[in-house]
């Protein structure tokens, strides 16, 4: 579904990801993990072409990025950015409605279907009570849920999420992870999630990719990938790993305070 071949990308004076080869298939639920500054957000932004590449080729559903019209591509792939910021303030409803832009001719011209989709997703993400509130007046976790809602109404086959759970309380983390997993399993959507939460990724995702210094370091199933040796290599720390007694998935333990 998505194919990256020898992709290098980054910013004006700095190449961040180097010659990355990656393939993603429909129905995968994949987490990208790695230290701060490893290039996770850069990689995610490069996939739909939000960053220009210095080398390599990206194709989505057998067409290269250059062959896609922007609006058509926006029906296939959505990205929830790490820092969702706005030039101007909007109400929650208007902001989420903007996620329907690939399906409209002009911004004023949303259909009844667009509006009912927005209401449905606002209810799903526990946001309906804030529908007329200004985005700037929401808490960090509520803002994050709005950015997820905006991507869900876009109804794409691929959803890229960049640390979209970092501000959510445990209740919303679990609820929204269930919603996303449901979308993944029932509708076969490809989900690629960047996160620092190794336990969350191990529990829900079926593929883990570790990135270090702009390169793919490990790629496989959680049970194969999340082990002491790999975590030592990626994060430079010795960490204990237990097994979740219910799901049998790997589970990372904090060592607690150690007096030196
Ligand atoms: P991660 O998401 O893995 O924490 P990023 O992909 O955001 O890392 O950043 C990788 C590197 O690129 C970092 O060294 C960071 O400083 C740099 N970087 C990120 N965004 C920009 C930008 N807009 N302009 C210049 N450099 C950037
Ligand atoms: Mg990032």
pLDDT digits 0-9 by tens, 13-39: 899 999 999 999 999 999 999 999 999
Mean pLDDT of the chain: 93
- CA-atom Rg of the chain in angstroms: 19
Evaluate if residue 256 carries a pLDDT over 90: no
Assess if CATH 3.40.50.300 describes domain 1-76+156-169+191-260.
Answer: yes
Distance CA 32, CA 195 (A): 7
Residue 106 has pLDDT above 80, yes or no: no
Pick from 13, 14, 17 the residue to mutate for probing ligand 1's pocket: most ligand atoms within 8 Å of its CB.
14
Nearest ligand to the CA atom of 162: 2
218 forms bridges with which residues in the sheet?
210
Q: With residue 22 as reference, give the H or E element that holds it.
A: strand 14-24
pLDDT band at 42 (very low <50, low <70, confident <90, very high): very high
- How many Å lie between the centroid of ligand 1 and the Cα of residue 120? 35
**In terms of DSSP H, where are the helices of the chain?**
40-46, 70-73, 92-97, 112-124, 140-153, 170-187, 198-204, 222-225, 228-235
pLDDT digits (tens, 9 = 90+) for 194-244: 999 999 999 999 999 999 999 999 999 999 999 999 999 999 999 999 999
Please, which residues have CB within 8 angstroms of residue 182's CB and are 6 or more apart in sequence? none
Residue 255 predicted with pLDDT over 80: yes
Q: What are phi and psi of 25, to 5 degrees?
A: -110, 160
Q: Whose CA is nearest to atom 21 of ligand 1?
A: 11
**Per-domain residue ranges for the chain?**
1-76+156-169+191-260, 81-155
More confident residue, 49 or 258: 49
What is the predicted pLDDT for the residue at 110? 87
Statement: residue 107 has pLDDT above 70 = no
Considering only CA atoms, which of 39, 42, 38, 60 is closest in space to residue 51? 42
- Please choose, from the candidates 197, 210, 166, the residue with its C-alpha nearest in 3D space to the C-alpha of residue 38: 210
């Amino acid at each position: 579904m998505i194919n990256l071949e020898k992709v290098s990308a980054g910013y004006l004076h700095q190449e961040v990801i180097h010659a990355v080869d990656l393939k993603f298939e429909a129905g995968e639920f994949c987490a990208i993990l790695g230290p701060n500054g490893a290039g996770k957000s850069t990689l995610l932004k490069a996939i739909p072409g939000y960053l220009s590449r210095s080398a390599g080729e990206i194709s989505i559903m057998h067409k290269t990025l250059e062959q896609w019209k922007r609006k058509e591509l926006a029906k296939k792939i959505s990205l929830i950015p790490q820092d969702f910021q706005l030039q101007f303030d909007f109400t929650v409803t208007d902001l989420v409605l903007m996620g329907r832009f690939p399906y409209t001719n002009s911004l004023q011209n949303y259909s009844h279907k667009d509006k009912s989709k927005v209401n449905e997703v606002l209810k799903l993400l526990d946001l309906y009570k804030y529908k007329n509130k200004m985005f700037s007046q929401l808490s960090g976790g509520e803002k994050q849920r709005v950015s997820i809602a905006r991507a869900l109404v876009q109804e794409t086959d691929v959803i890229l999420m960049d640390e979209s759970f970092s501000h959510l309380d445990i209740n919303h983390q679990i609820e929204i992870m269930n919603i996303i997993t449901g979308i993944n399993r029932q509708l076969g959507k490809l989900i690629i999630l960047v996160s620092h939460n190794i336990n969350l990724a191990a529990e829900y995702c079926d593929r883990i990719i570790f990135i270090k210094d702009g390169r793919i370091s490990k790629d496989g199933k959680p049970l194969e990938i999340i082990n002491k040796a790999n975590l030592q290599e990626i994060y430079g720390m010795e960490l204990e790993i237990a097994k979740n007694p219910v799901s049998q998935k790997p589970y990372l333990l904090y060592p607690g305070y150690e007096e030196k």
